[in-house]
Amino acid sequence: MKKTVVIGGMVAVTFAALAGGVMAQQAQPNRVARAEMTQAAFVDARVSRLTAADANRDGTVTVEERQAAHQAKRAERSDTRFARMDTNGDGSISRAEFDAPREARAERGPRNGRAGMRGPRGGRGGDRAARMENRGPVVIAEARAKAEQAFARMDADSNGTVTAAERQAVRGERRARMTERRAARQAPPAPAAAPMAE
């Protein structure tokens, strides 16, 4: 009996070690994928949402299709939040389930000193529907071409792969340009030169 228990325990430990090794090997490609990205992966990441939103598959995403996709995504996020809060899976959220996330956040304290810094709902510029309306339909082939151009700008060594360092460099350049534009807008106008006396 003791031999069976010992052998069973050793087998369990061996399987656990093997599973840990497999999981570590599976995690490694994900880390590499985040560090390096091919053009195909970059373009697909940029275009996949448009392709999914193109309900009639005509290659153009209309304002209505984008709004429908946005509503579907919001509903999906809402369902996910509900399922996460409904810890006992009974299809309803009790007061205790509702309060639990807030209490857990309070126990953890503020996140990196950013507590209370959230702006108004709606993201940049507020009314998302108005921004969609102003933008008009999006041709997927044009969006793909723009994504390919963006990739080419990031791929500094033109090897067909963009590294995290290359992406970071482009972000830094973009931030610098935005800072310059903001400073130019906020700078007081130069005083008008006084007319020269004759």
| 86, containing H or E segment | none
pLDDT of 145:
94
Q: Which residue ranges make up each domain of the chain? A: 63-108+126-136
For residue 133, give the amino acid letter.
E
Sign (positive or negative) of CA dihedral 125, 130, 135, 141? positive
The answer to whether the CB of 46 falls within 8 A of the CB of 147 is: yes
The 10s digit of each residue's pLDDT in 94-124 is 998 888 888 888 888 776 655 444 444 444 4
Q: Can you tell me the distance from the alpha carbon of 46 to that of 150, in angstroms, rounded to the nearest whole number? A: 10
pTM equals 0.52
The pLDDT value given to residue 103: 85
- Residue 139 has φ and ψ, to the nearest 5°, of -85, 120
Sign of CA dihedral 147, 149, 153, 158: positive
Task: Tell me the C-alpha distance between 61 and 43, whole Å.
Answer: 17
62-104 pLDDT tens trace: 999 989 999 999 999 999 999 998 889 898 989 988 888 888 8
User: Would you state the structure tokens that stand for residue 164, as one six-digit string?
Assistant: 């995290």
Element (H, E) at 96: helix 95-108
Distances (CA, A) of 42 to 47, 142, 151: 9, 15, 7
pLDDT tens profile 168-194: 888 898 899 999 999 988 887 766 665
Q: Give the span between the Cα atoms of 12 and 24, in whole angstroms.
A: 18
Q: Are 38 and 147 in contact (CB under 8 A)?
A: no
State the chain's mean pLDDT as an integer: 76
